[in-house]
Amino acid sequence: MKLLMVGLGSMGCYHMKKFTNLGMQIVGGVDPDIEKQNNAKKLYNIPWVGEKIEDFPFKMDAISIAVPDSLHKECYLKAITFNKPLFLEKPLSCNLVDALELEEKIGDNCIINYSKRNVIALFELKEILEQKILGKIKKVNIDYNQDWLTKEAKVEWMENDRFLWRLSPIYSAGGCIADLGSHLLDCLFILFNTVEFKETVFERTFKEELEDGLINYKSTKENKYHLLDYISGKPKIYVDYRANYLIDSNIPCSFSCSFLSKKYSEAMIIRIIGENGEAFIDSSKDRNNVSLKIDEGFEKIKGSAIVPTYTQFKNFVEKKTQHDLPTIHRAVEIQQILQEVLFCQ
Ligand SMILES: NC(=O)c1ccc[n+]([C@@H]2O[C@H](COP(=O)([O-])OP(=O)(O)OC[C@H]3O[C@@H](n4cnc5c(N)ncnc54)[C@H](O)[C@@H]3O)[C@@H](O)[C@H]2O)c1
């Protein structure tokens, strides 16, 4: 099975690793960055690399795309002209109007890579909820924390495009809210029926961190990402964010995402508190088990195997099975909430 990979950065390389492990062949790689082209060519023995999707001269069975958020729309629309299944990155786009256009034009011929749903424990948590083991649900806490923007992380974010575009009002769809928060919304939709944004509790933008001297931005690269600019009509770049949501009409949910975590390098944490006890997952410590506390008892419940998104996509391309989710329709639902959060601040 032949795959064209568009965007040969960190996530593009991860897609290629996953898909080649499943026996797919990378027949082309697209990236305007020659260094990224050379690196990918070497790693995955790619017969053709180029700068534009439309220049790809051969046949493929599917296309996978991992480019910075603001380029999703342009690349996804170019890719549909090949009329092949698409493996697309989250968030779907930078605003709801674009998301709806993509939904109309791409339809069901794609999977959106909300990859936190590959955490097995998430589906065990869903099972626990369906079996009503926790009784009436009283509260939900959901967080996605990363630390790469802190001094302690010792990550060279100022020298790395992969981090720089995430802080750019031109390339990012809204900082940590779109980058990490979109995964959390997908998880909430897996676990519950309805998800409603209520209010922002705390927000911190990249600009505020710079102005308060908490981040020293001294890049040796030119400011091609317009990191320091405020661009009218674009969402701000959030780097630390907390909000209240309402789940299934009456369950309060506290929601947070951050690039400035003091505690976690990379962790998605979900805690669901019910009248009988609580269930908890922390993706940084254990992706397979749910910790369950009922009355005085404590146990770890192992999740059953799931079909990862990459395998689901391969099966979808082979027409062996229809994929369950995530569909573009779910991605639009998520975009609708992101729009409300990002454009109403
Ligand atoms: N699902 C997940 O868990 C997950 C994790 C990380 C990143 N992502 C998503 O993947 C996407 C890429 O993120 P990343 O971390 O790989 O960034 P990255 O900066 O490492 O890679 C992006 C690559 O796209 C290339 N590019 C830019 N314009 C292009 C174009 N027009 N055509 C082809 N390539 C182009 C860049 O040169 C770069 O090599 C983003 O949308 C991000 O949100 C998803």
Distance (Å) from CA 203 to ligand 1 centroid = 25
Q: Which pair of tokens denotes residue 23?
A: 């026996």
Most confidently modeled range among 24-38, 214-228, 306-320: 24-38
Residue 219 — very low, low, confident or very high, per pLDDT cuts 50/70/90? low
CA distance 158 to 190: 35
Give me the pLDDT at residue 326, please: 65
Distance (Å) from CA 67 to ligand 1 centroid = 3
Distance (Å) from CA 66 to ligand 1 centroid = 4
Give me the pLDDT at residue 79, please: 98
Nearest to 140 by CA among 204, 203, 191: 191
CA-nearest residue, atom 5 of ligand 1:
11
Query: Mean pLDDT throughout 85-113?
Result: 96
Q: What is the pLDDT of residues 268-281, one digit of tens each?
A: 999 999 999 999 99
CA distance 103 to 232: 26
Within 10 angstroms of residue 306's Cβ, the number of other Cβ atoms is 17
Range name among 62-71, 120-129, 170-179, 315-324 with the lowest pLDDT average: 315-324
Of 5, 31, 118, 182, which is best to mutate to test ligand 1, by the most ligand atoms within 8 angstroms of its C-beta?
Answer: 31
Asked if residue 222 has pLDDT above 70, the reply is no
Distance (Å) from CA 171 to ligand 1 centroid = 10
Distance (Å) from CA 7 to ligand 1 centroid = 6
Contacts of 152 (CB under 8 A, 6+ apart): 262
Q: Which atom of ligand 1 is nearest to the CA of 11?
A: 16
Residue pair 265/280 in contact by the 8 Å Cβ criterion: no
Q: Is 89 in the pocket of ligand 1 (CB under 6 A)?
A: yes
Main-chain dihedrals φ then ψ at residue 197, nearest 5 degrees = -75, 130
Q: Alpha carbon of 150 to those of 39, 203, 209, 230, 271: distances in Å?
A: 28, 16, 11, 22, 25
Q: Which atom of ligand 1 is nearest to the CA of 52?
A: 32
Asked if residue 140 has pLDDT above 70, the reply is yes
> Which domains occur in the chain, in start order?
2-115 (3.40.50.720), 117-306+325-343 (3.30.360.10)
- Apex 289 CA angle, 283 and 291, nearest 5: 95
CA distance 58 to 119: 36
Query: Mean pLDDT throughout 120-124?
Result: 97
Q: Which atom of ligand 1 is nearest to the CA of 53?
A: 32
